[in-house]
Amino acid sequence: MKIAVCLRRVPDTTTKIVVAAGGKSIDEAGVKFVANPYDEYALEAALALKDAAGSGETTVVALGGDIVQETLRTALAMGIDRAVHLQGTPSADGLANARVLADHLRGGGYDLILCGKLAVDDYGQQTGAMIAELLELPCATAITRLDVAYGRASVEREVEGGVEAASCALPAVFSCDKGLNNPRLPSLKGIMAAKKKPLEVIAVTPDAGGVTVVALALPPERAPGKIVGEGAAAVPALMQALTSDAKVI
């Protein structure tokens, strides 16, 4: 089985974000970047399927500048076999980026293409479904279970009040959600091995697309907390604050 995983480099969710001069991007100075957490579920799913099959090939693909190779090496350290760096500047338009990924994946002979359900920096939730549409492949989004057998995949995802199950023939594209697995951490052996694994660089030029970032803004500062007292004696004051001040009950 050949499995491709689309990976994105995003700011660490614990990093303090500062809007850059011009107000249309973030100031990357001092910002720690990591693999998109939802993409890590996709990486783990690919590795687990290969481990269970005992054979196959896993490939991680990322679009971005040269710095994205650092994130690709992290995926290789987890156990992915090879990496492809689509070297170019991503567009603000998710469809333009999905076209670049789909153009590369098309004809690659992949049985399964996995993505995170969203990137934590823009919450687009679109790449996996767009790639599937462009490649004319079956797609399920935000999956929390994945089983593959006899050329078919069975998936589940959480819906309001329950679980939705589906199945389809491979090849297919799935986006992965929290709960699918517990991503492994790179081992020291894996980190050393990653330095020797193949990382192919392909220059690409995403089109500008139809989306323009007009402005970025940080959320308003939260009001300071208020201590109304301690123990049972504080309950009346707490109820007063919740009903009259905050008006949440």
- Classified as helix, coil or strand, 20 is coil
The token duo for 75 is 């995926």
pLDDT of residue 241: 86
Average confidence (pLDDT) per 10 residues, the chain, 249 residues: 96 89 88 94 98 96 96 97 96 95 96 96 92 97 96 95 96 97 95 95 92 88 84 90 84
Q: What is the DSSP letter of 111?
A: S
Element (H, E) at 241: none
Please give the Cα distance from 41 to 181 (Å, whole number): 6
Q: Is 182 exposed, middle or buried (0-12, 13-18, 19+ CB in 10 A)?
A: exposed
pTM of the predicted structure, to 2 decimals: 0.88
